[in-house]
Amino acid sequence: MARILRTSLDPRHGPGISRARRPRQWQNPPVTLRLGVLEGDGIGPEIVPAAIAAADAALRRANTAVQWVPLPVGLAAIAAHGSALPPSTVEALQTLDGWVMGPHDNASYPPAHRATLNPSGALRKHFDLYANIRPARTFRNVPATVRAADLVIVRENTEGFYADRNTFAGTGEFMPTADVAITMGVFTRGRIERIAHAAFQLAGRRRRHVTIVHKANVLAATAFFRDICREAGERYPGIALDDVHVDAMAAHLVRRPADFDVIVTENMFGDILSDLAGELTGSLGLAASLNASDRTAMAQAAHGSAPDIAGQGIANPSAMILSTAMLLEWLAARHDDARLADAASRLAAAVDRTLGLEIFPRDLGGAVTTAAFTRAVIAQIFPE
């Protein structure tokens, strides 16, 4: 079974609730779910359809299906609806069980649209997608800077040092004069507690080790984050707990990533460290990600829109496919659906096997196109 089944937030275990690991006794009949498809910008219209095609194959193999609902977002939505994130898209998402989100390229938006919150940030904020789960691991035969890694960065996704998510309206950045720029970092007990519990619950399904990343020697707010995570850890006596300064963690990821299991940290630290971990383990093209609340989830690769290669058919769809597998696993847990769990496992395992055969897109040193890689993944789902 693919290791993806040890990376996703389990929606059955709400924040602040410590429960023993629930056995996977999938008793309920399969449900038909409706999932949004938001292709986004840049390479999004190439890698998102690839992920949907591969997911459909895995769902068929597991004898189930979902209904995909295409929705406008990004530059195409600006052209058609006058907004990068039309209200109709947000309204539709409220009726769906989750969605797959492609990357955005808000730097290329017209000036008026660049001044607003980007589509991804807006959705994370609107739906309170507080847990950003970002696994990083080495793959068999994939060239990597580090020899072995299998860790998950659990990133608090709604506040911290990212100013677009730490105020009720607008952003936490302002300029009192033309020569002074001020940005706020906001940390609140309730939001720290829920991400801490998510991290400990995830560690309970993995190797039972949590590392808190902070900068308490300089930034008092991150000492607050560390201390509340420690308090949460008291409810999980079987899980080892330590903490590391963020700068030291960057060095540790390079030197000894195999020593870490689940890393929990604030928003900006988690974003930076997960990008580093993705590159160290092979490429950001392999960096999967899930954004989740207790009610819904968004699959979104950790990498950007790569406008320099957009439209060339050479983008690596692995991260988007693996993110979609994480979404299927999250939905399987939420709905006690064995078929969805089977599809998630088959989808992740197919990517593993394809990479193990050294079928590599260009970011991994190969020459395989997006379409050819997707066909290879589907062939692993339906082997002859």
Question: Which of the residues are catalytic?
Answer: 162, 215, 247, 271, 275
User: By the 8 A CB rule, do 156 and 144 touch?
Assistant: no
CA distance 186 to 289: 23
**Which of the 8 DSSP states describes residue 241?**
E
Q: Where are the alpha helices (DSSP H) in 62-164?
A: 75-81, 87-93, 111-114, 119-126
Distance between CA 277 and CA 317 in Å, rounded? Answer: 18
Distance set, CA 333 to CA 19, 36, 71, 215, 293 (Å): 15, 19, 25, 34, 13
Tell me the C-alpha distance between 196 and 200, whole Å: 6
Residues in the chain, overall count: 384
State both tokens at 170: 């607008």
Q: For residue 23, is it left (φ>0), alpha (ψ between -120 and 50) or beta? A: beta
Residues 15, 193 contacting (CB under 8 angstroms): yes
- Burial grade of 167 (CB within 10 A; 0-12, 13-18, 19 or more): middle
First to last CA, the chain: 19
Which of 238, 250, 310 shows the shortest CA–CA distance to 279?
Answer: 250
188 within 8 A of 225, measured Cβ to Cβ: no
Neighbour-count burial of 301, counting CB atoms closer than 10 A to its CB (0-12 exposed, 13-18 middle, 19+ buried) = buried
Look up residue 208 and give its DSSP letter. S
